[in-house]
Amino acid sequence: MSTSQVNDISLPPLSGPMLIVAALMIAAANFVAVLDTTIANVSVATISGALGSSTSQGTYVITSYAVAEAITVPLTGWLASRFGTVRVFITALVMFGVCSALCGMATSLGTLVLFRVFQGLAGGPLMPLSQTLLLRIFPKEKAAVALGLWSMTTLIAPVMGPVLGGIICDDYHWSYIFFINVPVALICGYFGWLLVKRYETVTIRTRIDAIGLALLVIWVSALQIMLDEGKDKDWFSSMEIRVLAVIAVLGFIAFLIWELTERNPVVDLRVFRHRGFAASVLTVSLAFGAYFGATVLTPLWLQSNMGYTATWAGYATATTGIFAVIVAPIAARLSTKADPRWLVFCGVMWLGSVTLYRTHNNSAMDFWQVALPLLLLGIGLPMFFVPVTSLGLSSVDEPETASAAGLMNFCRTFGGAIATSLVNTLWEDKTKYNRAELSGLVDQAGHYAATLTHSGWSVHQAQAQISNMVESQAVMLATNQLFFDIACCFVIGALAIWLAPRPTRIADTSQAH
């Protein structure tokens, strides 16, 4: 019997050393896929400088990966049923390694962004399928261990991303940010295939919703390019931006109509009829978008305004994950015993409160004054992320769990990509506005300039000093103003969860691929 015909239910789980090795291989694949969502965050300035681009253009390295990943996540279920879970997982993993190598060899920002798109397309299926395979190879009584291993890699990878990215950029070459994925992907792909190919699932020849997929790619890409390019093109004064806006709106409307009437849609939008799922998706999109936006903003601020190296910006950002890893098992247990809406509400409000506290940042802060709020932020992450996923999936009918999980992952990932673009645009706009306001208020009588010139400074040096001070404070004010906006987004997300009714069952996350 060929592997494509094997029904995984009839096979016993792995045990002993084979189970340990296979679990580590699968977990490592999930680790590198999640790692690449944050590893470039602290390296944007270094990469854009090395490739002759601005820092704002450098954020395309982040958004291109996130958007491409978001597009393939909803396709994971169809790919697995059409070609087999193991075959799709191993192929995606190997292609992820190949595309990572191409990213490291890129000689311009354009080619790097292109290869990041391919890397994101390959990385999209890895996270959901790694969870599925871990649950398949572990005995049923050890399913909690499998989910724990998967959750730990999912939480640790974003923490390690900024640290690894910073150390590599400061001590080596930025290309190694991507090259480090290559041996992991190829080794895990080879041994993973040997160990888990027996668990290949039955393949079903189903057609793909090609029109729905095309419309999804069109409106998502148009919207993301519009958000990325808008600040440089003066928004709607540019014909290019107006055209992209029209394409995004019309593409989205056509996508909605097609997917709601298609018998086998690529994205099953009908699950939004469940009020609990719709509220959970709204909350996770707002909260994750706000969190990801703050995660992108922090290293940009630290490196451009506070004099941090990429390494130290990574250390500061990574403190978020310390409490997140500790609290995750507690949140998982509580989500099965308490009303998950209260856990989500308290978790997201905690994130909003800590972010609101961060609106009092100033240019004289030391490392621990920066890192302590980020450390505390980690308490709220699993308190909202674990129960909101369970609440959303438990709100839909059981046959819809896989579609709902894919759609929730899409909205979460795409929300992070949109937040990255918005944060970058708003930060620049607020900085320009604050600079203009401060320039008309600082040293109107000329006393400070006179003091500097009397101290031996030239007029040019005195003007440069005042200009630098104005620029520094404009950036600091813009950062705090944006943290306030992000805190408001968290509060709205926290309140949105109360649109969901109390759940009546616990979702079977093992089917959430």
Task: Judge contact between 383 and 327, C-beta under 8 A.
Answer: yes
**Shared-domain flag, residues 276 and 220:** no
**Shared-domain flag, residues 233 and 321:** no
Which amino acid, 168?
Answer: I
Residue 352's pLDDT is what? 95
Task: Judge contact between 327 and 382, C-beta under 8 A.
Answer: yes
**Can you read off the two tokens belonging to residue 33?**
């896929």
Residue 311's pLDDT is what? 82
pLDDT band at 1 (very low <50, low <70, confident <90, very high): very low
Task: Judge contact between 249 and 379, C-beta under 8 A.
Answer: no
Element (H, E) at 420: helix 401-439
**Shared-domain flag, residues 402 and 333:** yes
Domain that holds residue 166: 1-207
**Shared-domain flag, residues 361 and 494:** yes
Give the up-direction half-sphere exposure of residue 94: CA atoms within 13 A in the CB hemisphere: 10
Domain boundary residue, one of 225, 249, 265: 265
Q: What is the pLDDT of residues 65-108, one digit of tens each?
A: 888 887 888 788 778 878 888 888 999 999 999 999 999 998 88
Task: Judge contact between 498 and 391, C-beta under 8 A.
Answer: no
Question: How far is CA 472 from each of CA 46, 439, 478, rounded to the nearest angstrom?
Answer: 20, 12, 10
Q: What is the pLDDT of residues 231-273, one digit of tens each?
A: 777 777 888 888 999 999 999 999 999 988 888 787 788 888 8
Least Cα distance to 496 among 241, 279, 219 occurs for: 279
Q: Is the pLDDT of residue 111 over 60?
A: yes
* CB atoms inside a 10 Å sphere around CB 327: 20
The mean pLDDT value for 226-233 works out to 77
The mean pLDDT value for 179-195 works out to 89
The beta strand positions in 48-121, using DSSP E, are none
Dist CA 496 CA 392 (whole Å): 13
Domain boundary residue, one of 207, 226, 242: 207
Domain boundary residue, one of 188, 207, 226: 207
pLDDT band at 353 (very low <50, low <70, confident <90, very high): very high
**Shared-domain flag, residues 295 and 345:** yes
**Shared-domain flag, residues 112 and 213:** no
**Shared-domain flag, residues 178 and 287:** no
Residue, of 222 and 404, whose pLDDT is higher: 222
Residue 85's pLDDT is what? 83
**Shared-domain flag, residues 175 and 324:** no
**Shared-domain flag, residues 221 and 77:** no
Q: What is the pLDDT of residues 308-334, one digit of tens each?
A: 887 888 888 888 888 887 887 787 777
Task: Judge contact between 39 and 161, C-beta under 8 A.
Answer: yes
pLDDT band at 376 (very low <50, low <70, confident <90, very high): very high
Residue 510's pLDDT is what? 43
Q: Which residues fall within 8 angstroms of residue 21, CB to CB, at 6 or more apart?
A: 191, 195
Task: Pick the range with the lowest mean pLDDT from 144-148, 156-160, 184-188, 320-324.
Answer: 144-148
The mean pLDDT value for 447-451 works out to 62
Buried b (16+ CB within 10 A) or exposed e, 66-76: bbbbbbbbbbb
**Shared-domain flag, residues 197 and 173:** yes
Least Cα distance to 51 among 110, 115, 114, 118 occurs for: 110
Residue 399's pLDDT is what? 72
Task: Pick the range with the lowest mean pLDDT from 116-130, 171-185, 351-365, 405-419.
Answer: 405-419
**Shared-domain flag, residues 32 and 176:** yes
**Shared-domain flag, residues 493 and 397:** yes
- The total number of structural domains that make up the chain: 3
The enclosing domain of 15 has a CATH number of 1.20.1250.20
**Can you read off the two tokens belonging to residue 369?**
């004054």
Can you tell me which residue has the tokens 């793909």?
208
The mean pLDDT value for 213-223 works out to 88
Q: What are phi and psi of 272, to 5 degrees?
A: -70, -10
